[in-house]
């Protein structure tokens, strides 16, 4: 039986009185790649903030590896977040720091590692994303795709059980985007890391995702839930067909 590592039940997501999502429920199984998709303004990035604990649900529940993100205290959630890795759309690197210093940050926060072993660990993380030898480079010295890969190396610094991605291929050319697809697939298969990806990239969805939810701004919630193949062939709702076949409404 496959374990569910994320369970969302009847979530309402809001900014003050402005409800963005209502009655959202889904599960993410251990080791799968789960995609959150939809048009602009449908609440994808807001949902991600709730999943990683940056926002607390006031209605509904989010259980991540047994921790209730609605009721747990701040200390528990902050400790639990160390089991997550997050790759933000911008890469999230600190521009005034080298790649080695960026990757060292989360490592130093959690444990004391002798300098020699810390340097070895940093090299290993950069090698995993094909950036061996770039320890002393600054983010500004890298291409967009390289910054994404460096951001992924930092997200993986603590060997997270769950990796969250916010538009990992946004702004990349097709060749570079495919390099990111390959990296995500390699990490998922090699380390059995659970992944939640916010994206609008159809190729990523069809190549990598095991399950998908499609959000819609008018419904303020999920209008389709299933495998990429199931959603691509979903004829009961024209909005679903339009999204997966990229047609105008």
Decide if pLDDT at 236 tops 90.
Answer: no
> Which domain does 57 fall in, by range?
4-92+161-245
Q: For 118-122, 209-213, 245-249, which range has the lowest pLDDT when averaged over its residues?
A: 245-249
Tens of pLDDT, residue by residue over 29-75, are 999 999 999 988 899 999 999 999 889 888 999 999 999 988 888 88
What angle is formed at CA 77 by the lines to CA 198 and CA 185, rounded to 5 degrees? 35
Q: Look at residues 3, 38, 26 and name the one whose alpha carbon lies nearest to residue 218.
A: 38
pLDDT at site 133 = 93
Specify the pLDDT at position 74: 87
Q: Is residue 131 part of a domain?
A: no
Count CB-CB contacts under 10 A for residue 61: 15
Closest C-alpha to 153, from 100, 199, 193: 100
**Tally of domains within the chain:** 1
Quote the mean pLDDT of the chain: 91
pLDDT of residue 246: 73
- Distance CA(127)–CA(124), nearest Å, equals 5
- Does the residue 28 lie in any domain? yes
> Considering the domain boundaries, does residue 30 fall inside one?
yes
Domain-located, residue 80: yes
**247 pLDDT band (50/70/90 cuts)?**
low
Q: How far apart are the C-alpha atoms of 234 and 201, rounded to whole Å?
A: 18
Please give the Cα distance from 205 to 213 (Å, whole number).
Answer: 11
Residues 104 and 118: beta-carbon distance below 8 Å? yes
Buried/exposed code over 152-179 (b: 16+ C-beta within 10 A; e: otherwise): bbbbbbbebbbbbbbbbbeebeeebbeb
Read off the pLDDT of each residue in 138-146 and give the average, rounded to a whole number: 93
- Is residue 103 one of the residues assigned to a domain? no
Q: What number is the average pLDDT over the span 171-187?
A: 92
Residue 112 pLDDT more than 80?
no
Tell me whether strands 221-226 and 211-216 are parallel, antiparallel or unpaired.
Answer: antiparallel
Residue 56 located in a structural domain: yes
Looking at residue 36, which CATH number applies to its domain? 3.40.50.300
Contact 158, 110 (CB under 8 A): yes
User: What pLDDT score was predicted for residue 39?
Assistant: 87
């Amino acid at each position: 039986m496959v374990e569910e590592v994320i369970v969302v039940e009847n979530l309402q997501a809001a900014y003050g009185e402005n409800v963005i999502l209502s009655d959202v429920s889904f599960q993410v199984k251990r080791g799968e790649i789960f995609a959150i998709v939809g048009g602009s303004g449908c609440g994808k990035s807001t949902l991600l903030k709730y999943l990683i604990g940056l926002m607390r649900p006031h209605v509904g529940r989010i259980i991540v590896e047994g921790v209730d993100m609605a009721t747990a205290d701040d200390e528990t959630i902050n400790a639990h977040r160390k089991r997550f890795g997050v790759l933000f759309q911008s890469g999230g690197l600190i521009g005034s720091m080298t790649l080695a210093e960026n990757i060292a940050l989360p490592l130093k926060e959690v444990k004391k590692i002798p300098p020699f072993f810390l340097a070895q660990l940093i090299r290993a993380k950069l090698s995993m994303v094909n950036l061996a030898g770039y320890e002393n480079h600054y983010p500004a010295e890298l291409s967009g795709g390289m910054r994404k890969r460096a951001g992924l190396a930092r997200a993986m610094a603590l060997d997270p059980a769950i990796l969250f991605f916010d538009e990992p291929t946004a702004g990349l050319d097709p060749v570079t985007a495919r390099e990111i697809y390959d990296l995500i697939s390699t990490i998922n298969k090699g380390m059995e890391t659970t992944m939640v990806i916010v994206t609008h990239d159809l190729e990523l969805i069809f190549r990598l995702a095991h399950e998908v939810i499609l959000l819609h701004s008018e419904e303020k919630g999920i209008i389709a839930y299933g495998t990429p193949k199931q959603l691509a062939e979903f004829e009961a709702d024209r909005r679903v067909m339009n999204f997966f076949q990229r047609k105008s409404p």
